[in-house]
């Protein structure tokens, strides 16, 4: 699916005569931590000419066209996966047993509106970097959204996109943990991907060309090692060691696990639901 999203942009750009730079992040969670798989894709508005000798500007994407293309490509993918026998249908669709039946059933989705949200182009480089950067290591929930924990339940805050109102949700501890660990990606799965002139196989060759065409000076940088606390304070504007209730500074004393149980060694089993939690 990420490749489909990137290829839609690349193919459209190719018809306009340029190669864009694309950054893509895969998210599996919604604000309330339920599984809600979606893609955040950022692309340059314009890009490198196909002859690699000029930068094309002032090119925009057409919303309705993108929505229709995305819908077509995803429906085509589902049909192809079903045809190959890779698609597992829920019990509510057990009556669909042949490709012809599945093909007919998926036709209805051409009549529905598919959500493809486009942000306006931004020339604010700092805002763009901050927007992209927060997706590199963004967890399903920030610590500041956790409002209370009493040993049995966890209460956290989230923004309801339908009402645009902040809501609070209280869950039993194990239910809260279950919602978190279902978003742990498989080993070696890449949540962050790059395409176009930012693709790994092209960036070494094409980024210097882009820098030259845009008159961007290559900076000599010095590595500065910051503590995890300072990094969080800089990026998210809050102190992770300050208690959200009493506002005092917290100290990590120790982490205690039963000697017969290693949470780290059983990380994958827990995420996949194969290992019982021993509390």
DSSP 80-118: HHHHHT-PPPPGGGTT--SHHHHHHHHGGGGGSPP----
- First and final CA of the chain: distance in angstroms? 38
Dihedral of alpha carbons 164, 26, 262, 253, sign: negative
Q: How many CB atoms lie within 10 A of CB 237?
A: 8
Report pLDDT digits (tens) over 164-178: 899 999 999 999 999
Block residue for tokens 């609070």: 168
pLDDT on residue 136: 66
pLDDT on residue 258: 58
Least trusted range by pLDDT, from 32-41, 124-133, 150-159, 231-240: 124-133
Packing angle of the helix pair 2-16, 63-84 (nearest 10 deg): 130
Report pLDDT digits (tens) over 42-83: 898 889 999 999 999 877 788 888 889 999 999 999 999 999
Task: Let me know the angle formed at the C-alpha of 15 by 14 and 19, rounded to the nearest 5 degrees.
Answer: 20
Report pLDDT digits (tens) over 34-48: 888 888 898 988 899
Token reading at 175: 């239910």
Q: If 0-12 CB within 10 Å is exposed, 13-18 middle and 19+ buried, where does residue 63 land?
A: exposed
Beta bridge partners of 193: 24
């Amino acid at each position: 699916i990420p490749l489909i999203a990137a290829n839609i942009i690349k193919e459209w750009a190719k018809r306009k005569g340029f190669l864009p730079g694309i950054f893509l992040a895969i998210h599996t969670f919604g604000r309330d931590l339920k599984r809600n798989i979606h893609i955040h894709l950022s692309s340059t508005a314009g890009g490198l000419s196909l002859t690699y000798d000029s930068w094309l500007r002032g090119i925009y994407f057409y919303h309705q066209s993108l929505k229709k293309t995305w819908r077509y490509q995803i429906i085509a993918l589902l049909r192809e996966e079903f045809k190959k026998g890779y698609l597992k249908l829920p019990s509510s669709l057990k009556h669909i047993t042949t490709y012809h039946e599945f093909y007919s059933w998926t036709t209805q989705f051409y009549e529905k509106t598919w959500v493809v949200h486009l942000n306006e182009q931004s020339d604010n480089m700092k805002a763009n970097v901050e927007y992209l950067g927060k997706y590199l290591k963004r967890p399903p929930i920030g610590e500041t959204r956790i409002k209370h924990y009493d040993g049995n339940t966890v209460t956290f805050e989230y923004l309801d996109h339908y009402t645009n109102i902040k809501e609070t949700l209280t869950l039993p501890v194990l239910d809260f943990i279950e919602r978190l660990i279902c978003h742990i990606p498989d080993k070696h799965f890449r949540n962050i991907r790059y395409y176009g002139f930012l693709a790994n196989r092209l960036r070494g060759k094409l980024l210097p060309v882009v820098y030259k065409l845009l008159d961007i000076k290559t900076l000599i940088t010095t590595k500065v090692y910051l503590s995890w606390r300072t990094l969080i304070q800089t990026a998210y504007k809050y102190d992770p060691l300050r208690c959200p209730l009493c506002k005092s500074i917290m100290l990590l004393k120790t982490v205690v696990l039963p000697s017969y149980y290693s949470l780290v060694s059983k990380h994958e089993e827990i995420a996949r639901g194969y290992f019982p939690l021993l509390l």
